[in-house]
Amino acid sequence: MKRTLILHIGAHRTATSALQEYLHANFDPLQEKGFFYPFKVRRHLKMMNNLFNGERTPADVTQTLTTRADKRPHPIRTIILSDEDVCMRRDLSVLAKFREWFDVKVVFTLRRQDTWLESWFFQNIKWQWNQKLSHCTFDDFMAMREDFHWIHYDRYLRHLEKLFGQDNIIVNVHERGQMKGGPIETFCDSIGLTDREGFRAPAHINESYSPAISEFMRCLPLDEASPGYRSVLTTACAEIDKALQGGARKQSERLMPPEQRAAVMADYAAGNRAVAQRYFGREELFFDPLPAADAPLARMELPADSYALMRDLVTPLMQAMIVHQAAEKAERKAEQQG
């Protein structure tokens, strides 16, 4: 009997980082339930990249997975691989080849497109891995909306269905009312991991920054820094954001005016309805209403006062860099003396 291979392919901004942390943290308890999250990494990005660029073949990866699963102290029925960047790829046919050795199930989580776009805009500013998206305005970002082909959910799911069969596609909806217990619990339930006794509780990670600090970061060339130095800068910005927010009420992360939001959702309406009918036997895919017409929008702006800009943003960033440099110097001195 074939083992089951769960391919969790995203989408981004649906608690994917928290899910990966949860699966990684529960490496041993998972095996007691017959599930295996291999390689002791949080995310299987490198392995997926190697598959898509041809450095590894599905047969090779299958052999590795099978050998590792066979060596576990408990019988393994299900192997889970997770990398949300997979959904950005237009052709997943290489992954369909795993069907020769496994009973493959693909998990794809859908977030309503308007809120996904706003969240994705902030995320690209935060991590700056794509220069095209790291520094653009929201209007420029929205002009590139068709680049995000995977949020045409009906079209993308039909590609998955052609490769894996509709019965092998697990669709979850990232909406509070449609996630019993939360996004991680919903994922686990959807793959049959219902007994989670003894598991470490999920963590909440990879939160978005406020619009104010996001605008500051959008103007910084973080993508030109080395990964280590960029991490320091990003962490410093996170600390600045916490200090600025204090006990203040959370700022709005909504960027689209009502007319634009309605127009965006109208573009996806037919596809969303088709997905709702095909997978859930209903007419509406998402239940939450659009924000009210008078809902406040995020203010993506720097302090107009130059002294406030220096005091609240530039000076704390410089202080964090000075502390980091001093720590590095002390570490090098300790190594030399040791």
State pLDDT tens for residues 132-163.
999 999 999 999 999 999 999 999 999 999 99
Contact indicator for 325, 319 with CB cutoff of 8 Å = no
pLDDT of residue 73: 96
Rounded Cα distance, 304 and 61, in Å: 55
pLDDT of residue 92: 98
Q: Is residue 199 part of a domain?
A: no
178 and 240 housed in the same domain: no
42 and 183 housed in the same domain: yes
Rg of the chain's alpha carbons, rounded to an integer?
Answer: 22
Indicate the number of domains in the chain.
2
98 and 219 housed in the same domain: no
Rounded Cα distance, 205 and 183, in Å: 13
pLDDT of residue 80: 99
Q: Is residue 183 part of a domain?
A: yes
Q: Is residue 131 part of a domain?
A: no
Q: What distance, in Å, lies between the first and last C-alpha atoms of the chain?
A: 56
pLDDT of residue 252: 83
One-letter amino acid for residue 198 of the chain: G
pLDDT of residue 250: 65
Rounded Cα distance, 12 and 85, in Å: 8
Answer yes or no: is pLDDT of 218 > 60: yes
Answer yes or no: is pLDDT of 184 > 70: yes
Closest CA to 151 of 83, 87, 85: 87
228 and 310 housed in the same domain: yes
- What's the distance, CA 181 to chain centroid? 19
Contact indicator for 165, 105 with CB cutoff of 8 Å = no
Q: Is residue 156 part of a domain?
A: yes
pLDDT of residue 290: 97
Answer yes or no: is pLDDT of 64 > 90: yes
pLDDT of residue 234: 93
79 and 110 housed in the same domain: yes
Segment 194-206, tens digit of pLDDT: 999 999 999 877 7
158 and 238 housed in the same domain: no
Domain holding 232, by residue range, is 211-252+303-337
At residue 301, the 3 state secondary structure works out as: coil
- Kindly state the tokens that stand for 126: 């935060």
Q: Prior bond to 326 cis, omega within 30?
A: no
9 and 66 housed in the same domain: yes
pLDDT of residue 224: 95
Name the least confident of 21-30, 79-88, 100-109, 242-251: 242-251
93 and 31 housed in the same domain: yes
Rounded Cα distance, 223 and 244, in Å: 24
220 and 175 housed in the same domain: no
Answer yes or no: is pLDDT of 213 > 60: yes
Q: Say if pTM beats, i.e. exceeds, 0.85.
A: yes
Segment 87-120, tens digit of pLDDT: 999 999 999 999 999 999 999 999 999 999 999 9
Q: Is residue 82 part of a domain?
A: yes
Reported as a pLDDT band with limits 50, 70 and 90, residue 245 is confident
105 and 216 housed in the same domain: no
Answer yes or no: is pLDDT of 283 > 80: yes
pLDDT of residue 248: 60
- Kindly state the tokens that stand for 319: 């202080």
Answer yes or no: is pLDDT of 169 > 60: yes
Q: Is residue 225 part of a domain?
A: yes
Answer yes or no: is pLDDT of 316 > 70: yes
186 and 217 housed in the same domain: no
63: domain CATH number is 3.40.50
Reported as a pLDDT band with limits 50, 70 and 90, residue 247 is low
pLDDT of residue 331: 87
176 and 63 housed in the same domain: yes
Q: Is residue 266 part of a domain?
A: no
Reported as a pLDDT band with limits 50, 70 and 90, residue 249 is low
Answer yes or no: is pLDDT of 208 > 90: no
Q: Is residue 132 part of a domain?
A: no
